[in-house]
Amino acid sequence: MQTITSPANGRVKQLVRLQRRARSRREAGLFCIETVRDLTRATGAGFDVAEFYATDRAWQTEPALRRAAADAACFTVTDDVLAKAAYRENPSGFVAVLRARWLTLGDLRLGATPALLVCSGLEKPGNLGAILRTADAIGCDAVLVDSAEADLFNPNCVRASTGAVFGVPIVCAEVDELIAWLNGAGVTVCAATPEAERTIDKVDLRQPFAWVVGSEAEGLTERWRAAAGVTASVPMRGRSVDSLNVSVTAALLLYEAVRQRRA
């Protein structure tokens, strides 16, 4: 097993690019993870490990690393090299490079009454990750993102999702393609907008539905508003607060569906 001792090593520079740049991740078809939890969930979902960089201490104390790295190119690195290559401030002893995988709409297999969520124009990868965590918790059939270039494997998205990014079916596509597919699948598009007079508890979510949540700064685009068969709002009674974090809103929307379907 080769040992890397210099932070200026070419492989370390490539790791830094994968960690920091969405374009590098997409062009290479690779991304990085740094925790045993994420590694276990990724490999359990069928993601392949391409390269593995770990300190001597990590190789010796984490049996999960050797199991996951069995078919990967493996390297031992010094603490200085790991600190350079890691995204986290306090790295856990390794960086694993995995092969990315993207689904298409044709890959989705929906049941009779699917529960879907559409994320439109979200600015922060951490918000998308938190939404994926909730989507996994409620058994959401799929999450759709209305940008073919969405950065699913951004380190902040992976971390905030607690590994849900590897298990929840996620499709990234352009708006018109998503709308046409939802209409063809008989799914009611439900737009979450603060201006709507109807509240979310008044929407029949026992039928096939797709909640659409938008940018916190801009809200939903006119294209999504026009495509919606239903618009609804989350009740707000605060004196000064007039909106919620988008991941909190998504959780309320999805758990309202859980409540109705249990009734």
* Residue range 25-68, pLDDT digits in tens: 999 999 999 999 999 999 999 999 999 999 999 988 888 888 88
Helix (H, G, I), strand (E, B) or coil at 32: strand
Residues 138 and 202 in one domain: yes
Model confidence at 107: pLDDT above 90: yes
Query: Looking at 45, 70, 99, which one is the last position of a domain?
Result: 99
**163 and 258 co-located in one domain:** yes
DSSP-based three-state secondary structure for 36: helix
Regarding whether 72 and 6 lie in a shared domain, the answer is yes
Non-local CB neighbours of 50 within 8 Å, separated by 6+ positions: 30, 72, 73, 97, 98, 99
Instruction: Check whether residue 23 and residue 63 sit in a common domain.
Output: yes
The DSSP string of 117-137 is EEE-S---HHHHHHHHHHHHH
| Residue range of the domain that includes 30 | 2-99
Crossing angle for the helix pair 125-138 and 246-262, nearest 10 degrees? 10
Reported confidence tier of residue 77, pLDDT bands at 50, 70, 90: very high
**Same structural domain, 69 and 149:** no
pLDDT of residue 89: 85
Quote the mean pLDDT of the chain. Answer: 93
Give one DSSP letter per residue of 190-242, joined into a string: EEE-TT-SSBGGGS-TTS-EEEEE-BTTTBS-HHHHHH-SEEEB-----SS--
Among 99, 120, 145, give the residue marking a domain's end: 99
Q: What pLDDT, on the 0 to 100 scale, is given for residue 130?
A: 97
The reply to whether 189 and 235 lie within a common domain is: yes
Confidence of residue 87 (pLDDT cuts 50, 70, 90): very high
Name the residue among 174, 93, 155, 143 with its Cα closest to residue 246: 143
Mean pLDDT throughout 226-236? 93
Residues 180 and 83 grouped into a single domain: no
Whichever domain contains 90, its CATH number is: 3.30.1330.30
CATH code of 242's domain? 3.40.1280.10
- Rounded CA gap, 24 and 31, in Å? 9
123 pLDDT tier (thresholds 50, 70, 90): confident
Q: What is the pLDDT of residue 178?
A: 98
pLDDT digits (tens, 9 = 90+) for 130-182: 999 999 999 999 999 999 889 999 999 999 999 999 999 999 999 999 999 99
Q: Are 170 and 117 in contact (CB under 8 A)?
A: no
User: 62 and 119 share a domain?
Assistant: no
What is the strand order of the sheet 209-213 is part of?
170-172, 142-145, 115-119, 209-213, 188-192, 230-232
Please give the tally of structural domains in the chain.
2
Q: Is 32 left (phi over 0), alpha (psi -120 to 50) or beta?
A: beta
| Residue 123, strand partner residues | none
Tell me: do 117 and 216 sit in the same domain: yes
Q: Are residues 109 and 208 in the same domain?
A: yes
pLDDT digit string, tens, across residues 1-37: 799 999 999 999 999 999 999 999 999 999 999 999 9
Pair (66, 193) in one structural domain: no
